[in-house]
Amino acid sequence: MVHALSGLQGVRLLEAPPRSLGEVFRRMKPVKVERSPEGLSVELVLSVDYGLSIPEVAREVQKAVAESLFLATGEKVRAVNLTVAQVVYRPENHA
């Protein structure tokens, strides 16, 4: 999944959990994959750069992760659920 995200600008798995929002739901793991007879379900906890459209980034991430998992496993991807737990302001992106 990290490979699928590497091609997308301004989005990454949550690396360092923030110290708020209930410690981001009591330190959720940034990646969780479950297999069922209907296919794979993925849950990702993300960090997104400030200024990006979260709905657009979410659609791109869902598509990239689903395609990557299908190509890697050959299994149907039933769902890619996202939680944006952190928005990061990067001054270099706002000159």
pLDDT score at 20? 58
pLDDT score at 73? 94
pLDDT score at 29? 77
**11, 65, 69, 84, 90 from 76: Cα distances, Å:** 24, 12, 8, 24, 36
DSSP for 5-16 reads HHTSTTEEE--S
6 confidence band (pLDDT: 50, 70, 90): confident
pLDDT score at 7? 80
Q: Which fold has domain 2-93?
A: Alpha-Beta Plaits (3.30.70)
pLDDT, tens digit (0-9, with 9 covering 90-100), for 32-90 = 999 999 999 999 999 999 999 999 999 999 999 999 999 999 999 999 999 998 899 97
Domain boundaries, the chain: 2-93
